[in-house]
Amino acid sequence: METKAFQKIYTKIDNITKATVSLRARGVGNDELATVGGKLAQVVKTDGDRVTLQVFAGTEGIATNSEVIFHGTPPMLKVSDDLAGRFLNAYGEPMEGGAQLEGEAREIGGPTVNPFKRIQPSELIATGIAGIDLNNTIVSGQKIPFFADPDQPYNQVMAMVALRAKADKIILGGMGLTNDDFLFFKQVFENAGALDRIVSFVNTTDNPPVERLLVPDMALTAAEYFAADKGEKVLVLLTDMTLYADALAIVSNRMDQIPSKDSMPGSLYSDLARIYEKAVQLPNGGSITIIAVTTLSGGDITHAVPDNTGYITEGQLFLRNDSDTGKVIVDPFRSLSRLKQLVIGKKTREDHPQVMNAAVRLYADAANAKTKLENGFDLSDYDERALAFAHDYSEHLLSIDVNIDITRMLDRAWSLFAKYFSKSEVAIKDELVEKYWPKEA
């Protein structure tokens, strides 16, 4: 943030609140960056010659005579191949004093891809996890969050998915990441020898919360560079979007806006959509896929953040601890990938859609049987078989520590069907049953 020659320096701030300062200044553009007493700030409101600035790091220590210098541009990120392997802060500056970035400075939060120029996503992203690949297949250009309780191992699962997926670049946007989790990601990426294809923008819990607001835009500007300019397949990991939304709420509250549901700003939907909609499949082969984390409070998905997220993203993945097997599984009932229809049975084996549905339906029968059992009713023979099936299904397919390809997942599902059920109970199209029902047994 070096000062340039001939910049006008203002030294008369006449209003200071927790997050904003205002002063009289002319010729200032909307959204422009400024430095206020050495801290970065952004123009959020102009009224005649009265300019209100939001100070990202908070206004502690700012005095009415602090120096205000306008930069003349909105927040920028320098993009080039130099980004690869870097750990950057919310302003796109190297953490821990690395060398400054080289490259072309681009505005973050730039324009939208023309929807007409988008390509329909059609490339499967395999993760080896059946809860994802079999039941909720992810496709390049998709945006999908994990809805997880804070105690679930979502960062670990996300790191696993990131490394198994064959992406050219992985961009980590960490918002309010604990230092421990940040070091975890760093270590996992280093151990995998994948550092040269990873870029990280990190705001840890040590940093001021409002700075987080810049992280997704920074990460996605970098992603757009690699996808649009270089034609690469980019996977963007955003964790945790709930903390991002909390920062939005803080700012809107300090700007005296009327809150809507759950104290969130009325513009929450648009604010989140602006980020998630950067996921795209481009005609040049490049793509941006976003996998995010939205932490829930007490599993409540009707809260404004998961609720709005669900309407924006193309599905959601739930993690669950399965008490029968003691494994962490991707919940087959509540998880959904909206784009799976584009690849299942097309890029994967023809029986994929029906096998997937039949397995989930039988798993649901098991859940009903379990409820019966808990309510003290006798189980029928079918119920018993369904329960046994559910146990095996959970252990040998859904568990996140299973790592096999989709064809093997399908074969495994057929053998479980044959082990516990008759053909008519499975109720799959006859042609497929004839072809794939295990012959022996």
Q: Which of positions 403-432 make contact with other proteins (CB under 8 A)?
A: 424-425, 427, 429-430
Among 118, 166, 419, 435, binds other proteins (CB under 8 A): 118
Residue number, 86 or 320, with CB nearest to other proteins = 320
Q: Of 71, 136, 78, give the one whose Cα is nearest residue 107.
A: 78
Cβ-based burial of 65 (10 A; exposed 0-12, middle 13-18, buried ≥19): exposed
29 binds other proteins (CB under 8 A): yes
Considering only residues 133 to 152 of the shown chain, the ones binding other proteins according to CB under 8 A are 141-142
Taking contact as CB under 8 A, which single stretch among the options 151-159, 205-213, 332-340, 403-411 is the one that binds other proteins?
Answer: 332-340
First to last CA, the chain: 72
Provide the mask over 241-260, with x wherever binding to other proteins is found by CB under 8 A and - wherever it is not. ----------------xxxx
Residue among 425, 422, 421, 418 nearest 440 (CA):
418
Say how far apart CA 203 and CA 403 lie, in whole Å.
32
What's the CA gap between 48 and 114, in Å, rounded? 34
At closest approach, how far in Å is the CB of 307 from other proteins? 5
Q: Which of 14, 24, 27, 178 binds other proteins (CB under 8 A)?
A: 27
**Which residues ranging from 159 to 188 are in contact with other proteins (CB under 8 A)?**
none
User: Are 292 and 241 contacting, i.e. CB atoms less than 8 angstroms apart?
Assistant: yes
Contact segment (CB under 8 A) with other proteins among 204-212, 338-346, 394-402, 404-412 equals 338-346
Pairwise CA distance, residues 80 & 73, whole Å = 19
DSSP secondary structure string for all residues of 400-431: TT----HHHHHHHHHHHHHHH--HHHH---HH
Contact between 64 and 16 under an 8 Å Cβ cutoff? The reply is yes
Name which position in 70, 223, 315, 410 contacts other proteins (CB under 8 A). 315
Most distant pair of Cα atoms in the chain: their distance = 86
Residues 6+ apart with CB under 8 A from 92: 75, 76, 77, 78, 101, 108, 201, 214, 218
Q: What is d(CA 180, CA 402) in angstroms, rounded to the nearest whole number?
A: 26
Told to check if 285 binds other proteins by CB under 8 A, we report no
Near other proteins by CB under 8 A: residue from 100, 375, 434, 439 = 375
- Minimum Å gap between C-beta 196 and other proteins is 27
Q: Which span sits near other proteins by CB under 8 A: 62-70, 88-96, 296-304, 405-413?
A: 296-304
Q: Is residue 380 involved in binding other proteins (CB under 8 A)?
A: yes
Among the listed ranges 43-51, 86-94, 145-153, 203-211, the one in contact with other proteins (CB under 8 A) is 43-51
Shortest distance, position 304 Cβ to other proteins, whole Å? 7
- Asked if 101 interacts with other proteins (CB under 8 A), we say no
Does 270 contact other proteins by CB under 8 A? Answer: yes
Nearest distance, CB of residue 391 and other proteins, angstroms: 20
CB of 45 to other proteins, least distance (A): 5
Minimum separation from the CB atom of position 414 to other proteins (A): 18
Interface with other proteins by CB under 8 A: which range of 77-85, 91-99, 240-248, 269-277?
A: 269-277
Among 186, 194, 269, 408, binds other proteins (CB under 8 A): 269
Interacting span for other proteins (CB under 8 A) from 61-69, 161-169, 184-192, 277-285:
277-285
Q: Is the Cβ of residue 109 or residue 153 nearer to other proteins in the bound state? A: 109
The residue within the footprint of other proteins, chosen from 67, 82, 93, 107 (CB under 8 A), is: 107
What is d(CA 88, CA 203) in angstroms, rounded to the nearest whole number? 9
The C-alpha atoms of residue 246 and residue 101 are separated, in whole angstroms, by: 30
DSSP 261-314: GGG-BTTHHHHHHHHHTT-EE-TTS-EEEEEEEEE-STT-TTSHHHHHHHHHSS
> Which tokens sit at 5?
């020659």
